[in-house]
Amino acid sequence: MNAIRQIFGIVWILLGLAAGYFLVFEQSLKLFEKGGMDNIVPAIIYTFILAPLLTGGMCIFGVYALQNEYKRVD
Amino acid sequence: MNSNLSSEQVDKKKLRKVIAASSVGTLIEWYDFYIFGSLSVVIATKFFPSDNPTAAFLSTLATFAAGFVVRPFGALFFGRLGDLIGRKYTFMVTLLIMGFSTFAIGLIPGYETIGFIAPLLVLILRLLQGLALGGEYGGAATYVAEHSEPGKRGYRTAWIQTTASLGLFISLLVILATKKSMSAEAFANFGWRIPFLISIVMVGISYFIRKNMDESPMFEKAKAAGEIVANPLKESFGKKLNFKFVLLALFGATMGQGVVWYTGQFYALSFLQKVANIEFEQSNYIIAASLAGGTGFFIFFGWLSDKIGRKVVMLTGMLLAICTYRPIYQAMYETADVSLKTEVAGSKVIKTDYFMIPKSVDLKKTVKTEFSYTDGSTLTLEESSLTTIFPGKNPQKPEVKRIVHVGSSSFWFLILLVFIQVLYVTMVYGPIAAFLVEMFPTAIRYTSMSLPYHIGNGIFGGLLPAVATYLAAKASTANEVAVAAGQAIPYDKPYLEGLWYPIIIGGVCFVIGLLYVNGKDKEIND
């Protein structure tokens, strides 16, 4: 089970990167282009809060998993 | 206190006081936080006129910032304080900040009186509310957990978990009672301020109850032993040993819990009103009845988590939610769909009204066409158009509203469907306070548990209504484009597309929780 936990670290890193790409390039940039406060405020939140949180958080989590930080001694 | 009581009984009596004092304060904080949301339409007309871009910007900021951004900052700020000076003093400060902010919102003159200062003040006070809420929950949960005996921590802290739902419920009751006690005009003029103003009385009572409580025994013990850390933020997030558990708490528990919570209590209401077109009052009754029926289950699942483990209860709730959301929402949609009902022959009634808009030259025409169905449901098509008495000025395009009032059997079926979602909420949310406090040591508990909780709920959960509505709207637009182009529609059920957000977030959280969360509960003084 610890090996599975470790291998899945790659999945969390890729997922974090994919989420960041989707939020910034697929959502925020389009919202910035549209303009208007209703679009700009969510775009700022996606770019500066949600994307760093998901990408940074999931990547660090994935790295920790790869380093076997979550191994369990049952 | 009766001196004949055994020490065990004295402890239990003290514990009940601890739980009551903590829960009442947290309940009031949730009440304060929710009345702003429940009265957002009135607040918008008084402080944020849509024709003024600055006020509209402040309004958007108040909506997003307080709910999403500020709460985690409150968690960091007050969490640090709670780990440095103590739980009791910190959550008394958050209570006072929340009470003062709420009361002050009720006193601010409108935009018409003091201009843009009014929305600015409201924004600042709303941010203070968000900060206070960010600090309150972790303090209350930690305080109760640190007083609780091992093996009953889930049950004891579950009382804190009921407060968010009860706070929403009470805010709706106070607003409805205030509305019923006066005319609509009086409510719009000054009555909306009453729910804000009475908060000061509730906060005052809660303050005096909390004031007489002792500090958490575990914190006192850690303090006496010199185990208080100088920099809880650095300790929590700068050290891998602790930070890895902060990340696990977020991605393996609170992220999924947040989306299940918001889907069951807020998206369900939004879906009933905006997608199923059920009338405002009836949809609120459906939610209120489901909440009233489901709230006791927070205690039950908290208790159950003491018996069979937090992980199994929370992950079962999450799994059931992600597997059944689509059929549940499909059933909700079909229950309100009048095209699936049998119309009573000759039931069509048309009523037309005209009236002049005050202080204008515009005339409003309303045509209401009502259809009745054999199950007792009705559909009202309300077509409103605005025209002007000035010749040559084009009248506006009519606006058509669909309002469905479901019959008795459909009404109860909808309550059941929302109640099932509330049950999922109680499964994931009931044990989470105990789960979080057990993850971290006393010295950094307040800080470490508050942040993942408020990111999970405030950001992942708080974004749910906006993201889900966006996904559903995008699917509907794609279908309209396809129809216009004579192509096959890409989405069979566009109204269910919004559910992909809680399903995907909940699914990722479920897998992480299943793989990495330790199901064996730990002691909290380790």
For residue range B357-384, list pLDDT tens digits in order: 766 667 778 888 999 999 999 999 988 8
Closest CA to B503 of B259, B180, B265: B259
Q: How many CB atoms lie within 10 A of CB B522?
A: 11
Number of domains in chain A: 1
Structure tokens at B348: 């069509």
Separation CA B33–CA B101 (nearest Å): 10
Tell me what pLDDT residue B7 has. Answer: 44
Query: Does A46 reside within a domain?
Result: yes
Q: What is the pTM of this model?
A: 0.88
Structure tokens at B422: 């509330």
Residues in Cβ contact with B427 at an 8 Å cutoff, skipping those fewer than 6 apart: B297, B301, B313, B314, B316, B317, B318, B320
Does residue B76 sit at the A interface (CB-CB below 8 Å)?
A: no
* pLDDT greater at residue A45 or residue B307: B307
Answer yes or no: are the C-beta atoms of A21 and A52 closer than 8 Å: no
Positions in chain B whose pLDDT score sits under 50: 1-7, 9-10
Task: Report CB contact under 8 Å: B247, A49.
Answer: no
User: Is the backbone of residue B220 left (phi > 0), alpha (psi -120 to 50) or beta?
Assistant: alpha
Fold category of B1-228 in CATH: Growth Hormone; Chain: A; (1.20.1250)
The domain in which residue A13 lies consists of: 2-66
Tell me what pLDDT residue B10 has. Answer: 44
Query: Does A7 reside within a domain?
Result: yes
> What percent helix, strand, coil does chain A show, rounded to 5?
85, 0, 15
Task: Report CB contact under 8 Å: B69, A58.
Answer: no
List alpha helices for B181-309, DSSP H: 184-189, 194-197, 199-211, 217-224, 232-237, 240-249, 255-262, 268-270, 280-294, 296-308
Does residue B516 sit at the A interface (CB-CB below 8 Å)?
A: yes
CB nearest to B251's CB, from A5, A37, A61: A61
Say which CATH class B349-408 falls into: alpha beta
Strands (E), B297-392: 349-356, 362-372, 378-388
Structure tokens at B197: 């103003």
Tell me what pLDDT residue B466 has. Answer: 77
Does residue A17 sit at the B interface (CB-CB below 8 Å)?
A: no
Domain ranges of chain B: 1-228, 235-337+413-526, 349-408
DSSP codes of every residue in B9-38: HHHHHHHHHHHHHHHHHHHHHHHHHHHHHH
B1-228 and B235-337+413-526, same CATH topology = yes
Residues pairing with B388 in the sheet? B362
Alpha-carbon Rg for chain A in angstroms: 16
Q: SS3 for B377?
A: coil
Structure tokens at B371: 């259809």
Query: Does A74 reside within a domain?
Result: no
Distances (CA, A) of A74 to A2, B245, B519, B520: 10, 18, 11, 10
Does residue A41 sit at the B interface (CB-CB below 8 Å)?
A: yes
Separation CA B261–CA B285 (nearest Å): 19
Q: CA angle at residue B470 from B38 to A37, to 5 degrees? A: 70
CB nearest to A57's CB, from B68, B247, B516: B247
Tell me what pLDDT residue B2 has. Answer: 37
Answer yes or no: are the C-beta atoms of B145 and B160 closer than 8 Å: no
CATH architecture of B235-337+413-526: Up-down Bundle (1.20)
